[in-house]
A and B are shown apart, each in its own frame.
Chain A
């Protein structure tokens, strides 16, 4: 029985979030009435010429720098010729043999590096809409800038493929060049996949699965495809090099076109655009604009702030959250308290990933910072902090507006003892319940103490005192 190993490489398309398209000044906004984000250039009217959007080059360089790529000082645009109604010029302006970025990598948590062969810039195509037996074309998406990130076939498991893509998504989100949403198509992925007997080095025949639109589908498609290829090899057949698609309904992959039907794109240099020169100064300027990489941030949160990995992961997932966290821990000696406030109370107010990504909360990081400082200086206790944070989340007010001076400061032990004794005297039935083994009854007595101190008492301390007094 031979054990097979999966060998995979990903081709990832990412829509850049520049305001305007790659070769004209039309809006790149998602959606919109069909053919309203269009002009003579992006619908390829005869005689029009493309003009390269400098921002696209910048964003692509940032993507390259963030994935450890070399940036080519000289690159060019090429035409990729093929006929399809969503491509109004019958060629896509892309980069063929001189991509903007090359030879990068992404490191996985198991320490393996997935090499990135190249990153190039290109234009997106329009969209066909099938309705009432007719086909219509919407060119709004035509000319939206894309980068294509091509990995080497370094991926050895479905988990690695997922982690690679998640890391890529996180990095691109961090540097702010794309919203990388698979469901909206701003992140798309083609999977190249082959299998070979474990321990061998030669690559098996690969197939390419086009257009994965979710992580789940990608995993399922890869799983199916690996089994299919192994079955073929074990029954003495061969894998055919071809392009396949994932059939979501049946959970299988199916053939789209074979090698003999592969397009001959007749690439050649785009004569309407000039050579792209990137200077060292430009690269350094963009490098300075890059935020701390998410992996570095993760480690810092764990090592410097002592956060558990799961908490650190939640905080770094979106840049808005991490930025908020870092603003809120200014001069704080217990960042973990801030993290707990965010992951606990604040996150519970945010529904879904979109809300977390936007991270629109009524409490400013400065106000959260001030609140936690009250706790650290002993002016308030944890229970009052929690209650106040809830009010802050409701109203957007600062802690200083919600807690009066008289609420602040601790209660000295003698006063607390007296209040506890009074609470016991006032709640004799609860005391009886407690003594008969109903431990919960103590909460009612504690509640009375807290009410009497308007929350200033340390609940843990008060509970200890109550037990002591009742036992006496």
Chain B
């Protein structure tokens, strides 16, 4: 069985001069020019930067130098990852025109590898949303069905990678923002352990939840990108680097005897076709010799409340700095400073962002702090403990990524709270700071991709990627379908 991985294949083709980096990059740049209008995946093209890098890579190849793992591979960054000299907006009106004077650590690492940046991709405004539709540029569409959303908040990355407009992309995951769009677009999305990847330069939504990670078309690619970017960074105090062994080197390990845990709470209320796909995946794991362990995790029911209280509280503080004084959008007419700040924020932020700032401000206010924020903090501890207990019983937890397939357009704007509920399977992992990977595991009755999630203990990325890779190899094409657009390799 061929690997689904693109990165190694392309790297080898470039090294053996079957294709030059400039040619490869051109194909992507042209594909973006012709197909991005269908998807609205990119909000900014950086083809100049891409071509410059590609030329550098070709020079290196010509001189016979060995390529680094991600060298010359065309990719994209979610628009909340700071790129020096390249506008970074978080897809919010309030940051339009903001050009960072420094680069995020992940982007520095990738630049050192001569990663070819094709552009910045669409997202829900400040990463708040599950459909990409809160973007001030309008949402990114699902390459499998243009009448469906790509998901969110890293919808643009998933749309671009799924539509073959980038080999891979980096998104950020605060409550599912990498895994959910990966699931909707039939892709692999890895949310690493909190602290595995530097957050320096990632424009914060909820600091104690945010984590950068890759969206790719294969487990192998996700492992390669993870290995490259999970470095300790002294600029991020919460950064802890990674475990010693590269995750990409243990993908082939047998999972015979691996204990895969199923917590029944994860399966409560999910759509039947999603449940069927999960049950089939469990069968695949059994056939691979894994041991399936069933248990309860009753505290999972608090996840959504805990997440929305704590994440909004942090967001209300993180977003206080957008006042029109130093950078970004500023209202045109005002009488005094107070009115300037007030109008700038009223005009600059969209409804979902305002909703979360208000919610977060409320739960931190004197008189409400104990009833909401403090209680949620305590429950966060309970959830962390519940996972610790679970990992006494199993090596990996298997769960659906989303209880359904990709939403139709405008589903989210009708009932925000209903949309919040769809985050039920992804948020617990962020609450506990654990790694989770979503991989495709079949198709729903609507023909759209279904994703399943493998959750590991802290810094056990290698374990979950190993389990994911083994499934991907065993399930083969039954779980994955490429889309006929963009660059076909």
Report yes or no: A81 in contact with B320, Cβ–Cβ below 8 A. yes
A371 to B88, CA, bound (A): 71
Report yes or no: A268 in contact with B199, Cβ–Cβ below 8 A. no
- A83-B208 contact given A47-B203, A51-B235, A266-B317, CB 8 Å threshold: no
A359 to B317, CA, bound (A): 47
Report yes or no: A135 in contact with B337, Cβ–Cβ below 8 A. yes
Give the distance to chain B from A288, nearest Cβ to Cβ, in Å: 28
Report yes or no: B235 in contact with A268, Cβ–Cβ below 8 A. no
Q: Is B294 an interface residue (CB 8 A)?
A: no
Give the distance to chain B from A135, nearest Cβ to Cβ, in Å: 7
The count of A-to-B residue pairs whose CB atoms sit within 8 angstroms is 95
Q: Which of B80, B199, B206, B234 contacts A51 (CB 8 A)?
A: B234
A267-281 with Cβ < 8 A to chain B:
267-268, 271-274
A272 to B95, CA, bound (A): 22
Nearest neighbor of A274 in chain B, beta-carbon distance = B237
A90 to B313, CA, bound (A): 14
Give the distance to chain A from B489, nearest Cβ to Cβ, in Å: 33
Interface secondary structure of B, over-half rule: loop
- A9-17, A38-46, A207-215, A444-452: which lies at the interface: A38-46
A170 to B437, CA, bound (A): 59
- Size range of the interface on B? 35 or more
Give the distance to chain B from A272, nearest Cβ to Cβ, in Å: 5
Nearest neighbor of A82 in chain B, beta-carbon distance = B320
Report yes or no: A50 in contact with B326, Cβ–Cβ below 8 A. no
Q: Which of B82, B236, B237, B316 contacts A46 (CB 8 A)?
A: B82
A88 to B326, CA, bound (A): 8
Report yes or no: A91 in contact with B317, Cβ–Cβ below 8 A. yes
Nearest neighbor of A24 in chain B, beta-carbon distance = B235
A196 to B461, CA, bound (A): 65
Point out the residues of chain A lying under 8 angstroms from B369, CB to CB: 266, 268
A47 to B82, CA, bound (A): 7
Give the distance to chain A from B194, nearest Cβ to Cβ, in Å: 10
Report yes or no: A46 in contact with B321, Cβ–Cβ below 8 A. yes
- A137-B100 contact given A50-B237, A81-B320, CB 8 Å threshold: no
A423 to B235, CA, bound (A): 83
Report yes or no: B236 in contact with A85, Cβ–Cβ below 8 A. no
Q: Is B417 an interface residue (CB 8 A)?
A: no
Q: Which of A40, A88, A272 contacts B102 (CB 8 A)?
A: A40
A11 to B289, CA, bound (A): 67
A192 to B88, CA, bound (A): 46
Report yes or no: B317 in contact with A85, Cβ–Cβ below 8 A. no
A52 to B236, CA, bound (A): 10
Q: Which of B237, B337, B341, B361 contacts A272 (CB 8 A)?
A: B237
A45 to B90, CA, bound (A): 13
Nearest neighbor of A270 in chain B, beta-carbon distance = B207
Interface string of B348-368 (1 = CB under 8 A from A): 000000000000010011100
- A90-B317 contact given A264-B366, A266-B361, CB 8 Å threshold: yes
A249 to B102, CA, bound (A): 47
Q: Is B215 an interface residue (CB 8 A)?
A: no
B44-91 with Cβ < 8 A to chain A:
80-82, 88, 90
Interface secondary structure of A, over-half rule: loop
Q: Is B19 an interface residue (CB 8 A)?
A: no
A63-94 with Cβ < 8 A to chain B:
79, 81, 83, 85, 88-91
A90 to B316, CA, bound (A): 10
Interface string of A253-292 (1 = CB under 8 A from B): 0000000000010111001111000000000000000000
- A47-B364 contact given A90-B323, A266-B317, CB 8 Å threshold: no
Report yes or no: A46 in contact with B203, Cβ–Cβ below 8 A. yes
Report yes or no: B317 in contact with A52, Cβ–Cβ below 8 A. no
Point out the residues of chain B lying under 8 angstroms from A40, CB to CB: 100-102
Point out the residues of chain B lying under 8 angstroms from A48, CB to CB: 102, 200-201
Report yes or no: B235 in contact with A47, Cβ–Cβ below 8 A. no
Nearest neighbor of A52 in chain B, beta-carbon distance = B237
Point out the residues of chain B lying under 8 angstroms from A271, CB to CB: 206-208, 238, 314
Point out the residues of chain B lying under 8 angstroms from A47, CB to CB: 80-82, 100, 104, 200-204
Give the distance to chain B from A52, nearest Cβ to Cβ, in Å: 7
Give the distance to chain B from A334, nearest Cβ to Cβ, in Å: 56
Give the distance to chain A from B431, nearest Cβ to Cβ, in Å: 13
Report yes or no: B321 in contact with A49, Cβ–Cβ below 8 A. no
Point out the residues of chain A lying under 8 angstroms from B202, CB to CB: 47
B278-330 with Cβ < 8 A to chain A:
313-314, 316-317, 320-321, 323, 325-327
Q: Which of A45, A266, A273 contacts B101 (CB 8 A)?
A: A45
15 pairs, CB–CB < 8 Å, chain A vs chain B: A45-B327, A46-B88, A46-B203, A47-B81, A47-B201, A51-B234, A85-B325, A90-B317, A90-B320, A90-B323, A91-B317, A267-B364, A268-B369, A272-B204, A274-B237
B residues lining the A interface (CB < 8 Å): 80-82, 88, 90, 95, 98, 100-102, 104, 199-204, 206-208, 234-238, 313-314, 316-317, 320-321, 323, 325-327, 337, 341, 361, 364-366, 369, 373
